Structure formats: C-alpha cells, structure tokens
Amino acid sequence: MFNKKKKEEEPVVENNTAEEAAENLNDNVENTTEQAENEVSEPVVELSAEEKLQQQVAELNDKYLRLFAEFDNFKRRTQKERVELLQTAGKDIVVSLLPVLDDFERAIKATENSTEVAPVREGIELVQTKLKTILSQKGLKEIESLNTPFDTDLHEAITQIPSPTEEQKGKVIDQLEKGYTLNDKVVRFAKVVVGA
C-alpha cells in the first residue's frame, strides 16, 4: 500500500511538470511573438533613434553657438578692460606728479619778481629732489655709468675715444644722457663715451 501511494504521487508530479512545460511553451511563444513584433517595429525605432540623434545634434549645435557667443562676449569685455587699464595705467604716477607740477608753477611765478638767482636755483633744486624722490618710490633708479665697465645691457655707446689711462680702457669715460631702470628693467639706456 505504501508503494501505491508513491506511484500515485509521481504521476501528479509529472502532471505538474507537464503543466509547467505547457506554461513555459506558452511563454516562449509569447516571447517569440513579441520579438517578431519588435523586429517588425524596428524601423519605427530606427526612425525615432534617428530623430533622437538629430535632436541631440540640434542641442549640441545650440550649445556650441551659445558657448561661442559667450566666449566672443568674454573676448570683447576683456579687450575693453585692457584698453581701459592701459588708458588709466599711468594714473597713479600722474597723480603723484601733480604736486611737482604745482611746485614748478610756483617756481616760475617766483622768477617773474625775483632779481636774485640763488633763491630761484634753490627752489628748482628742491622741486627736482621732490621729483626724483617720487620717481624712485615708483621704482625708477639711475644707472651708474661713469668709470664702470661698458655693458651693452645698460649702456649705448655713442662714440669711442682713446682712453687717457690704461685702466680706463673699455670703461665709460663720459656720460651724455643718464640711463634709468624701472623695477630692475632698463627703460632708457645710458648714452656714453667709451675709452678705447
């Protein structure tokens, strides 16, 4: 009796398997039908994919044009700022030189009524000292040239003359025009006479 129950149970298991197999078969048929429908509708998907690509191209083109316009505006703005900076770059120096200009005007007025030269000369020397002080505060320095070896980075030789002594050969004997550096960069070479 016990064996009979097992035999009866086995066919039930087999029937379940058959039912599952039938369901799987139905699922496979449905999947195959869906795949066939998808294959038939692929040209529609391709068109939508093509449309998506065209839409992406249009978006990227729009983004590119906006970036280009933004960069062009940036270039114009920085160029305008640069021009303004160049126009006002000397403002600081000009403002600091205005008192010197006032002093020169006072000196000229003083020379109109003055008969003595010494006080006028003193006043002009004071104005010169004030001007040199302001310029040195801005980084301007004189190039020391007399009795120094000729240096093409600092000097411009106007002429050569025979040196009076052997020690002065190749050195600066006379200076026609002073040279200046601004923050250690030469802004005007010293015009000198060199001993040969």
pLDDT tens column, 116-146:
878 888 888 888 888 888 888 888 888 888 8
CA 144 to each of CA 63, 106, 180: distance values in angstroms, whole numbers, following the listed order: 60, 32, 9
Angle between helical axes of 91-113 and 117-137 (0-180°, round to 10)? 180
Q: What is the mean pLDDT of residues 23-30?
A: 60
Beta bridge partners of 180: 142, 188
Work out the burial of residue 79: count CB atoms within 10 Å of its CB; fewer than 13 is exposed, 13-18 middle, 19 or more buried: exposed
Is pLDDT larger for residue 95 or for residue 20? 95
Determine the pLDDT at residue 70. Answer: 95
Determine the pLDDT at residue 31. Answer: 59
Determine the pLDDT at residue 77. Answer: 94
- Cα 150 to Cα 163: distance, rounded to the nearest angstrom: 13
What is the full DSSP assignment across 13-60? HHHHHHHHHHHHHHHHHHHHHHHHHHHHHHHHHHHHHHHHHHHHHHHH
- Cα 69 to Cα 76: distance, rounded to the nearest angstrom: 11
Strands 140-143 and 179-182: antiparallel
pTM: 0.51
Contact in structure between 192 and 157 (CB atoms under 8 Å): yes
Residue 118 CA, distance from chain mean position: 55
172, amino acid identity: V
Q: What is the distance between the terminal CA atoms of the chain, rounded to a whole angstrom?
A: 139
Determine the pLDDT at residue 99. Answer: 85
Residue 83 CA, distance from chain mean position: 15
Express each pLDDT in 170-190 by its tens digit: 888 888 888 888 888 888 898
**Of the candidate ranges 18-32, 45-59, 137-151, the one whose mean pLDDT is the lowest:** 18-32
* Statement: residue 15 has pLDDT above 70: no
- Cα 150 to Cα 172: distance, rounded to the nearest angstrom: 6
Q: What is the mean pLDDT of residues 135-162?
A: 86
The helix/strand count (H/E) of the chain reads as 3, 6
Query: By percentage, how much of the chain surpasses pLDDT 90?
Result: 13
* Statement: residue 101 has pLDDT above 80: yes
Express each pLDDT in 78-89 by its tens digit: 999 998 887 777
Q: How confident is the model at residue 38 (pLDDT cuts 50, 70, 90)?
A: low
Query: To the nearest whole number, what is the mean pLDDT of the chain?
Result: 78
